[in-house]
Structure 1
Amino acid sequence: MAEAEHLTSKGEVIVDTATIEQLGPAAQISEWRTDLATGERFAVISRLDTLVAPVPWPAWTPRS
């Protein structure tokens, strides 16, 4: 995903085609962008129509 960083603007969520395949119709795509150097396509996500289970941060144990 680091290769897509230059294709995004502040506040945008961008994902690769493999992620879109996993999300299926739950992902509302506002547009597709292509990395001209690699030809790889990325989707700009405007909405996700599914509930995502919360995953809490792991417990933090300070080093002594």
Structure 2
Amino acid sequence: EIRAFSSHITLGRVRSGLNREALVEKLNLPGKAACFKNTEFKVSAITLFKSTLTPAGPIYEVISTSPLK
């Protein structure tokens, strides 16, 4: 890989395509952050992953999971 390493945090991920279109619409709106002001969703846990990039694609490993009450 020629690009320099760029660390990041993924704050959420859509597991199914059911609401994917709505999410993509909101992400493409001007003032992107403002469009999430009244958006609600349930968070049941926070999981820390390690990702290792390989020629076959990324490999994800769970480092730790903390359930939320």
| Class of the TM-score when normalised by the shorter of the 2 chains | under 0.3
The structure with more helix, counted as a fraction of residues: 1
TM-score scaled by length of structure 2: 0.24
- Which structure has the higher relative contact order (CA within 8 Å, separation 6+)? 1
TM-score scaled by length of structure 1: 0.25
